[in-house]
A and B are shown apart, each in its own frame.
Chain A
């Protein structure tokens, strides 16, 4: 099995996570001879040998017929598969265990081929070529994937030889597979005020009663904010401005250096998603290919992308004043 780290470089392909059961293993060789091939080869050899020994044209003809079927059945699928090319477009974001619709474009002429996506090996789908269709696939592990492996198969037209060929298809845009969020409670702790200006969502729930100032009414202000005594005094509508609510959130330090990095990523995703849904701010610190990295994530997709890129390595320093949740085993 490939080392998990291999799955995340620019050349990485979708591969099953360790311990993940696959439907069938990808075929290691160029194809398989079938029972038909054995039958035809036997008939051909016997026919030519027996016919040559006795000089009987009818027997040689039967043998030649069987041999010809064998050879045609051998060469035809090889030629068919050789001229097929495949392009795949995948969505940019997904999660482990979620179905991904891969749009597959098959070029080259063929009356009948089967194709499937590997890593893990999915179901076979039949089509003629050229064709364009959708292959549903399930991403089985976290990572950023630039390639997809597609396996082609054909035994047409005689079923003598099942030619298989695996093509490593570069995606026009990589697919980022985020970890599946584990069930977790949000972590809502105080966050320094200066982080409000970073565009992070503010906690809208609750708030304070302290009025900071008043300002002229502008269209759209709710009527309940109008401060009637001051409006009467000034002769124009003014509204109250309250003190903003305190920022809440968490700084996640996702340390994948433990024995179960996928479980850690999944737990981090769970905490982050729950916190974001609760309106909190999430700072996520990980280590990726460029080294330690940490930033405030604005939504679940950004969180997922950062966790998808995460590898085992040194942790960044958390921002000062944040409540730090170190996720590790």
Chain B
């Protein structure tokens, strides 16, 4: 290679110090997105947060092959796509993390642009830039105001005009159906001996004005280990539709379902398959593109065959809207309901204590003795169960022929299905019409959207009791039953450790990183202290900082005097030469630089 074509050596690129501060908000932004993403894929949120933060720190601080500004913007773009991705599909109740992401992104943008601007030399004699904090706060306040106005003005418009109250969603395949949790599959049979697996996976979200239990199916026949429907109650009727609106026939004698107050809810399916139309009791109309069928007990579900060609249930992304009707009774009105007779058909189907063992029947009589009304009897049963039983997902599965008897008299530990079944049988033994209901608890309200986020772990069972003139009213005995001490664990520390293995691993890795970095951190602290102790060292540090801002870092072999001369030429400020001379004098003469020289040098550096 000839001398003419030889490329000059370039110093290794370093991240300018102005960009260091950018790393903090960038790490927060990515940590927020990482936390959302981790939850979406069922990992501990700390894993995602740590991963996002570490990725951001490495990108901003330790990626010299890319311009820092560009790398940071690309990073924010990836974070933004992640935020959109998980806001769109996760449907979880972590939307407040999106606010964190947005705020951190805004601060990052301000600081990265500011850092980029600071790489230009300052105009000699010009006005200094406002402080980073002031600029960031000012811009953040203004942008937050504009964003708030825009969001308030645009979001309802966009979602109201283009948002869907009915949407077909994906068509579930056979794999989706087979792998769906039992709580989402329409069934005529509920097994009480199978322990439910309750994960954090989001099942659906609900737009509704208030929380309610999202009812799915009801059962009336108990055979000791499971619930089924009585003959004739399991024969569905395909409901007529007017466009996308399907009118549900109110169950016989359910006054609330026919004449109650309207309550509108829109369900967004987030799981791969749901065969049941979940809704607050009792559905009156359903807006959906699916064919809907109804059982005589009021259970509403997607048609179980595909004769209409619109699928066999709700897939991911499907949206349907339900208007429910129910009475809003008070305790007084419930007590007063006993004044009317229970219809014979209801009594015959739902008040027959045949499924209850003699022990259960005797217990019911003992609990309800002296209670004048149906409502009081139910409350007495709930109170007794609260005192004598405990909730536990780790309760032993019953091997006896009667799950309820085993629960009430032996283990006294059970989950919602066993607890609710007990209430139903105790009520029936007291002559009260009752039935078992499965569905989902209200879920948690999303802080940003107000939507109720319902997860697999919200799957629930409760009881409905019939009140003449009012209709079916839900009672949740599980709420009265205290948690057992091992509700979240089987007591094995090994199991606990395994459950939180990933989180433990991240914590240990961070600790190891911290311990490994300790010598370097201590050395940096020593260097800082040394700089503070020596005037020449601290002043040289200031000079180097000014030089770096001007885009001229000190070469390793460059003396302070040489460096100051180079900076004086670059910044066109001859005063810097005297700074270099003062530095050399202070470092190498026995008495150090005179006080006046030091003061003059500091004044020069301060003016820059």
Contacts and interface: CB of A to CB of B under 8 A. Distances in A.
Contacts of B113: 36, 155-159
Contacts of B77: 39, 42-43
Given A111-B129, A155-B113, A159-B109, A135 B84 contact: no
Contacts of A63: 84
A157 B110 contact: yes
Nearest to A39: B77
A54 B143 contact: no
B148 to A, nearest CB: 9
A131 B88 contact: no
Interface stretch (B115-123, B278-286, B297-305, B530-538): B115-123
Interface string A101-119: 0001010000110110000
B126 A125 contact: yes
Given A52-B158, A64-B151, A157-B139, A134 B109 contact: no
Contacts of A157: 109-110, 113-114, 135, 139
A56 B151 contact: no
B127 interface: yes
B98 A58 contact: yes
Interface string A58-87: 111111111111001100000000000000
Contacts of B98: 58, 61-62
B223 to A, nearest CB: 43
A126 interface: yes
B127 A159 contact: no
Interface residues of A, number: 59
B102 interface: yes
A43 B128 contact: no
Contacts of B309: none
A36 B109 contact: yes
B110 A58 contact: no
Contacts of A159: 69, 73, 109, 112-113, 116
B547 interface: no
A133 B109 contact: no
Given A68-B143, A128-B130, A133-B126, A57 B155 contact: yes
A6 B38 CA distance: 66
A64 B159 CA distance: 12
Contact of A126 (B102, B117, B572): B117
Interface of B: 69-70, 73-74, 76-77, 80-81, 83-84, 87-88, 91, 95, 98, 102, 105-106, 109-110, 112-114, 116-118, 120-130, 135, 138-139, 142-143, 146-147, 150-151, 154-155, 158-159, 161-165, 167, 268, 317, 319, 446, 448-449, 451, 572
24 contacts: A39-B74, A43-B81, A50-B84, A51-B159, A54-B317, A54-B319, A56-B159, A57-B448, A58-B88, A58-B446, A60-B155, A60-B159, A61-B98, A61-B155, A62-B102, A66-B80, A114-B117, A123-B120, A126-B123, A127-B123, A128-B129, A131-B123, A133-B124, A157-B139
